[in-house]
Chain A
Amino acid sequence: MKHLSIKFLATLTLMSLYAVTQAGPVVVVGSSSPISASGESDVVKAFLGKKKDLGGVSVVPIDQNEGTSARNDFYTNVVKKSEAQLKSYWSRLIFTGKGQAPQVVGGDAEVKNMVASNPNIIGYIDEGAVDGSVKIIYKP
């Protein structure tokens, strides 16, 4: 019994460690933004420029620099597009005058700064970077 509980505890610890190291990306807005929790497909559409509002509030998505873990996770697991596919996708929209790729602002800290400064901006950051300045509207 004792062994079992130790094992149980160890598993729990390992699981929580796993959760910390694997903290995925979350989509955030400024803490005072009127944008509320949104579904995956709406979030994906917003980042691909196919949807200009979430729940009636117009949104401006922003991107992190290429290579950040939040960006890699977000596009690979949520949007399900590789960087090359993304580049192709946007070049087809940009050069038809139909849209513009989200502005690239830096890393988690810059995204938090930007969303906090404008209630219409949405961004993604690593879950571990979430603090009081932002609110999560989508978690994969």
Chain B
Amino acid sequence: MAIKSVACAALPLLVIASLPTQAITLEQLNTQVQQMNKRISEQNQKFRINGFASFGIVQSDSEDSYHRGITDQPNFRRYTKAGIQMTFNMSSDTSVITQLVSRGENEFDTTAEWLYLKHDFGDGFTGKIGRLRKPNYLLSEFFDVGYALPWTQPPVEVYGVLEESANYEAVDLSYDFEFGDWYGSGQFQYGRAITDTAISNDLIAFNGSISDGELTLRAGYSQAFLTLIEGTTLYNSLYDATTNPAYGGAPVPTGLNDVLALTDLDGETVNGTFKGTFAGLAAMYDNGTILAIAEYNTLTLDGFFADQDGYYVMGGYRIGNLMPYVTFAHQETTDDEKRAVSSFNTSPTGLPAVDTSIINGFNAGAAAALNVDQDRTAIGIRWEYQPGIAIKVQYDMVDTGDTIGEFDSFPTDGKVNFLSFTIDTVF
């Protein structure tokens, strides 16, 4: 009875509450919903936010710090990073894209990795201007997105160049085309890269790739002219190395770029500017079950700087949500002998004569710091915990022989094994 009276009392309220909506028919409501949907979808087409994040732990069996801070203490920072990408479509053919990334190893400082304006010219041509990713590799553009990669970390033997400086300011012209079941793409970039230690002027890069959805083939080439920035840690330490009495050195009356020019090899060095070239080949096969990737690149740098070749071959096999994989990688400097003491050209024309002992000392140090011969075998497993979240465990066995390899300083023993664990997400 009490319930009934409450219900009766509530009835007029309900009637009042529903009064304003009585005037709207179901059809009108449907139209409103449709209009709202349309507005939401238009808004969504205009502005999109995507993100990625990796959370990792890595620990080795060696006290010697390897590859920027991997030691026998668990490192929670090294593989941890997050990025937010914002795409603002100004019109159907013009957009602004920004990617902000924070990396644990850089104290979680947030930097704009990408910041560019993109325009679609039609007929497959796209132009970009701004801060872009260097297009050296097959996986260059999503090298930070752990989820899109099979490993906990891409093989440094090939991807090392990107780790040092992945982005630069440039213009980009790309052409995408289709022939039968194949998609092709050609890309050209021109720009200037400024890092903390060096400037790469007149950087040009071009590459082409084709893919049929399962097989992807790619070839690329780039070149630039490098100058070291005076006063940086790298500059000063190199300068100090040349004048270190331990190597029998003595102060040199010239600047470092002139000293480096002393390491003139076959006339490669001109006035402290060093030409660098980079060429790479890559193939990837992914049929949903089998994943195989092979990538090779060769880097040449004039003068004192080391030339380097690197490659890796990886294979993975998907069983349900699991993918065990194995990777072999190798990296070596290819001009060790050229840079060795015996082959030195003492003093190029136009520079003051310098004591050979300085050059010898400099080169002993340089050889120790620059010569690399590193092998890696890595086994791992990737678990698709759910779409958008992958969990990976990887064990790396690295042998740098009697070279520094990717150790942070010359190691007591050139062998290091390390275990890494990451949770990679995209959202």
Residues of chain A at the chain B interface (Cβ within 8 Å): 50, 60, 62, 66, 80-88, 91-92, 94-97, 100, 103, 105, 110, 113-114, 116-118, 121
Residues of B within 8 A of A117 (CB): 34-35, 37-38
Contact of B387 among A60, A66, A80, A105 (CB under 8 A): A66
Closest to A106 in B: B37
Contact of A84 among B37, B44, B387 (CB under 8 A): B387
Provide the bound-state CA to CA distance between A84 and B291, in Å.
14
Size range of the interface on B?
A: 20 to 34
A50-B183, A81-B288 known; A97 and B118 CB under 8 Å? yes
Whether A113 and B288, one on each chain, are in contact in the complex, defined by CB atoms closer than 8 angstroms, is no
Provide the bound-state CA to CA distance between A26 and B352, in Å.
80
Closest to A114 in B: B37
Whether B387 and A87, one on each chain, are in contact in the complex, defined by CB atoms closer than 8 angstroms, is yes
Closest to B176 in A: A98
Contact of B147 among A80, A83, A91, A105 (CB under 8 A): A91
* B33-70 near A? 1/0 per residue, CB < 8 Å: 11101100100110010101000000000000000000
Closest to A101 in B: B50
Whether A86 and B426, one on each chain, are in contact in the complex, defined by CB atoms closer than 8 angstroms, is no
Contact of A103 among B34, B41, B183, B426 (CB under 8 A): B41
Say yes or no for B99: interface residue by CB 8 A criterion. Answer: yes
Whether B48 and A100, one on each chain, are in contact in the complex, defined by CB atoms closer than 8 angstroms, is yes
Say yes or no for B314: interface residue by CB 8 A criterion. Answer: no
Say yes or no for B165: interface residue by CB 8 A criterion. Answer: no
Provide the bound-state CA to CA distance between A105 and B41, in Å.
9
A60-B45, A97-B87 known; A88 and B37 CB under 8 Å? no
Provide the bound-state CA to CA distance between A114 and B35, in Å.
9
CB-CB nearest 8 A-B residue pairs: A96-B141, A83-B387, A117-B34, A84-B384, A87-B387, A91-B426, A95-B142, A91-B148
Say yes or no for B97: interface residue by CB 8 A criterion. Answer: yes
Min CB distance A16 to B, Å, is 32
Min CB distance B174 to A, Å, is 9
Closest to B181 in A: A41
A92-B142, A117-B37, A118-B41 known; A87 and B147 CB under 8 Å? yes
Whether A113 and B142, one on each chain, are in contact in the complex, defined by CB atoms closer than 8 angstroms, is no
Min CB distance A129 to B, Å, is 16
Residues of B within 8 A of A114 (CB): 34, 37-38, 41
Say yes or no for B171: interface residue by CB 8 A criterion. Answer: no
Closest to A86 in B: B387
Provide the bound-state CA to CA distance between A107 and B288, in Å.
27
Min CB distance A132 to B, Å, is 13
Whether B148 and A95, one on each chain, are in contact in the complex, defined by CB atoms closer than 8 angstroms, is yes
Whether B37 and A103, one on each chain, are in contact in the complex, defined by CB atoms closer than 8 angstroms, is no
Name which of A50, A81, A82, A95 has the most chain B CB atoms within 10 A of its CB: A95
Provide the bound-state CA to CA distance between A116 and B34, in Å.
8
Whether B288 and A91, one on each chain, are in contact in the complex, defined by CB atoms closer than 8 angstroms, is no
Closest to B33 in A: A113
Provide the bound-state CA to CA distance between A121 and B85, in Å.
25
Closest to A84 in B: B384
Name which of A66, A86, A100 has the most chain B CB atoms within 10 A of its CB: A100
Provide the bound-state CA to CA distance between A81 and B289, in Å.
11
Closest to A81 in B: B288
Say yes or no for B145: interface residue by CB 8 A criterion. Answer: yes
Closest to A80 in B: B288
Closest to A44 in B: B213
Residues of A within 8 A of B116 (CB): 97
Residues of A within 8 A of B267 (CB): none
A66-B387, A113-B33, A114-B41 known; A95 and B321 CB under 8 Å? no
Residues of A within 8 A of B144 (CB): 95
Whether B37 and A110, one on each chain, are in contact in the complex, defined by CB atoms closer than 8 angstroms, is yes
Min CB distance B314 to A, Å, is 15
Task: Provide a sorted-by-A list of 30 A–B residue pairs whose CB atoms are within 8 angstroms.
Answer: A62-B41, A66-B387, A81-B288, A87-B387, A87-B426, A88-B148, A91-B426, A95-B50, A95-B52, A95-B85, A95-B141, A95-B142, A95-B145, A95-B426, A96-B141, A96-B142, A97-B87, A97-B128, A97-B141, A100-B87, A103-B45, A113-B30, A113-B33, A113-B37, A114-B34, A114-B37, A114-B38, A116-B34, A117-B34, A121-B41
Residues of A within 8 A of B52 (CB): 91, 95
Say yes or no for B114: interface residue by CB 8 A criterion. Answer: yes
